[in-house]
Amino acid sequence: MEKILISKDENIKSEIIIENDLRLNLEYYFENKNYFLITNETIAKLYPEIIYKFNKSRVIIIKDGEKYKNIKTFEYILNELLKAKIERKDAIVALGGGVVGDMAGYCASGILRGVELIQVPTTLLAMCDSSIGGKTGFNTKYGKNLIGSFYFAKKILIDPQFLNTLDEKQYLCGLGEIIKYALIEKSCLNKNNFDLLNYLNINQKDDVKKSLDFIIHACASLKATVVSIDGFEKDLRKILNFGHTFAHAYETISKYKKFSHGLAVAYGIKCASLLAYQKELISKEYFNNIDFLLEKFDLINPKIEKKFKKYKKDEIISLMYQDKKVENSKINLLLPTAPAQVALFDNIAQPSLEASLP
């Protein structure tokens, strides 16, 4: 069993536990209180033995898909929790990928002004990223995750064995965020040297699949360091948004139906690295390295690119201006500056943005 702590103050505090098969004894991590389970219909079918551990009246199952990460589902969950008479001393367990985790997390932060939250991530993306760090929320037609809160889970219980049922497409989504961590690792101020970039450079997709324990540990540890320093995204934490301003624009324009988050992040990384190269922040060699990684892990190919290129550049840029990170109507972007390092550049001019969209 591995433990990683996020610890800054009362509001920024989580315990991450990584252990194979912990799902079989989930109750071991529970206290003597009522736990409300929030999950989706796919996971409920795959893991009925976990659902049965909860009192039937305290199980809430939502529809599966990013397009359901919206105010309607939020309202549905809140009503179900109130109907089942949730009390302040009770807790919410989010069992699922990033969609379930973000929605359940936001409900936990709002209901009765906040009840305890436990995250049990079941996708690679959620284990490496979304279940950690307290960001919760949902999408609107105006943009991705524009409604949300920072609300740290008391515990994040990671069982890599959940990944046995994950399909290839979802595995690739996780790789989108994992490549992000490889490209920001040195900026994370973590004392370990995981050297994810080198690891991904020298290993093939199937080898990486065999060492997901290492990858999950590395990403969780990098994120824990960053959010322990800056839980509410005042400065350092912004680096975790590398590639995301582009990604969110594409997810929004396609009404959250066309691109998975991980795939959109990969394309966002491609745009950001092109911009960095055009600004002469990075060498041709490093630019090619990033491209090579995205292609090697099947996150970018001509067919995928065609789907992104279908959208008008001015519409994408106008959506980028609606992003949460925009300040005084100016776009700030994280751009790569050296291997495994990024920096924030403010007031990116519109012509530069246009040129960065492939």
Q: Which is nearer to ligand NAD, 96 or 339 (CB)?
A: 96
Least distance between ligand NAD and beta carbon 105 (Å): 7
**Is residue 323 at the binding interface for ligand NAD, with CB under 6 A as the rule?**
no
**Is residue 66 at the binding interface for ligand NAD, with CB under 6 A as the rule?**
yes
**Residues 37-56 within binding reach of ligand NAD (CB under 6 A):** 40, 42-43, 46
Mark residues 151-170: x for contact with ligand NAD by CB under 6 A, - for none. Answer: -----------x--xx---x
Q: Which is nearer to ligand NAD, 98 or 268 (CB)?
A: 98
DSSP class of 25: G
Near ligand NAD by CB under 6 A: residue from 23, 44, 68, 69? 69
SS3 136: strand
**Is residue 261 at the binding interface for ligand NAD, with CB under 6 A as the rule?**
yes
Query: How many Å apart are CA 337 and CA 182, to the nearest integer?
Result: 13
Burial class of residue 322 (count of CB atoms within 10 Å of its CB; 0-12, 13-18, 19+): middle
E-assigned strands of the chain? 2-7, 13-18, 35-40, 59-62, 91-96, 116-121, 135-140, 143-150, 155-158, 333-338, 341-345
**Is residue 130 at the binding interface for ligand NAD, with CB under 6 A as the rule?**
yes
Quote the radius of gyration of the chain (alpha carbons, Å).
20
**Is residue 84 at the binding interface for ligand NAD, with CB under 6 A as the rule?**
no
Query: How many Å apart are CA 14 and CA 21, to the nearest integer?
Result: 20
| Range in contact with ligand NAD (rule: CB under 6 A) among 121-129, 199-207, 214-222, 350-358 | 121-129
The residue nearest ligand NAD at its CB is: 98
* Token pair for 216: 């999950």
**Is residue 133 at the binding interface for ligand NAD, with CB under 6 A as the rule?**
yes
Q: 33, 31, 81: which is closest to 59 by C-alpha?
A: 81
| Range in contact with ligand NAD (rule: CB under 6 A) among 71-79, 123-131, 334-342, 346-354 | 123-131
Least distance between ligand NAD and beta carbon 44 (Å): 9
CA–CA distances in Å: residue 243 to residues 45, 153, 193, 272, 342: 34, 25, 23, 6, 11
Q: In sequence order, what are the beta bridge partners of 4? A: 16
Residue numbers of the site for ligand NAD (CB under 6 A)?
40, 42-43, 46, 64, 66, 69, 96-100, 102, 122-123, 125-126, 129-130, 133, 135, 145, 162, 165-166, 170, 173, 260-262
